[in-house]
Amino acid sequence: MQKQLAESQKLDALGQLTGGVAHDFNNLLMIISGSVHTLKKGVGDDARLQRAISAIEAASKRGAALTSQLLTFARRQSVNPQSIDLAARIQAVREVLGTGVGSSVALAFDIDRDVWPVTVDISEFETALINLVINARDAMPMGGTITIAAHNSAVAALPNASDCVAISVEDSGVGIAPDVLSKIFDPFFTTKPVGKGTGLGLSQVHGFAYQAGGTIKVDSELGKGTKITILLPRDNAAPKIQHHDATEADGSGT
């Protein structure tokens, strides 16, 4: 009995790992497919370029098929926490996010000029941001605006830190029904069709936030939209960062 339990826990863990890798990989493939689509429109009738684009397209389709039947259990990269300049990191993934959301969705940024540094694993942070933005996009099939914000907060929201930074992704999409809300962080819980959702995006976000000593808050109203906020402790040891004004809207969505 004890052995069976241990075995099934091991399988659960392996399944989560595999699924996590497949989910993150799928997000990247989606960005490749989106970019190829844009390239295809602009390349004209240059046969050589057309062939190259078709090859990328075929390879990313094959990649998507492979991820869905991923049999090899791969490990996520080990976590490497470091102090980051949030404004700069968000700026760094801006293009990827724009490509991921497509042309009917605009991205707006509302980042405090003097946003405090936080200590996170950069790659986990970027993945979490991508996961939140992709969910926000999926919640707005008719298009709209996704607002990515980062604000300093001196309200003691975390048990071990008086200062924290609130990083949020807000959409004006379909919202989350109360019975769904209680399950959204469960691994493999999804309301998306087979092949589109794996139910692992928010469990990655959850894992990232808690690993970084933070927490998550969800505000959602059916038919109005959703705001998911990650609260992270301020890194008090990091030197002060000087910023230009990063508050702006990017209506291009690309």
- Nearest approach, Cβ of residue 53 and ligand ADP (Å): 28
Length of the chain as a residue count: 254
Sequence-ordered list of residues with C-beta below 8 angstroms from that of 63, at least 6 positions apart, any chain: 25, 29
Q: Please provide residue 83's backbone torsions phi and psi, each rounded to the nearest 5 degrees.
A: -75, 130
Under rule CB under 6 A, residue 168 binds ligand ADP: no
Single out the segment in contact with ligand ADP by CB under 6 A; choices: 14-22, 76-84, 186-194, 229-237.
186-194
- 135 contacts ligand ADP (rule: CB under 6 A): yes
One of 63, 143, 144, 197 touching ligand ADP (CB under 6 A): 197
Work out whether 222 is an interface residue with ligand ADP (CB under 6 A).
no
Q: Tell me the C-alpha distance between 235 and 204, whole Å.
A: 22
Count of chain residues binding ligand ADP (CB under 6 A): 22
Q: Does 33 bind ligand ADP (CB under 6 A)?
A: no
Alpha-carbon gap, residue 248 to 228, rounded angstroms: 20
Kindly state the tokens that stand for 151: 């604000």
20 binds ligand ADP (CB under 6 A): no
Instruction: Tell me the CA end-to-end span of the chain in Å, nearest whole number.
Output: 54
Q: Is 170 exposed, middle or buried (0-12, 13-18, 19+ CB in 10 A)?
A: buried
Q: Is 226 in the site for ligand ADP (CB under 6 A)?
A: yes
| Residue whose C-beta lies closest to ligand ADP | 201
Amino acid at 242: Q
Q: Which of 104, 191 has the CB closer to ligand ADP?
A: 191
CA dihedral 149, 152, 158, 163 (to 10 degrees): 160
Q: Is 136 in the site for ligand ADP (CB under 6 A)?
A: yes
Question: Is there binding between residue 199 and ligand ADP (CB under 6 A)?
Answer: yes
Interface with ligand ADP by CB under 6 A: which residues?
Answer: 131, 135-136, 139, 171, 173-174, 176, 180, 184, 189-192, 197-203, 226
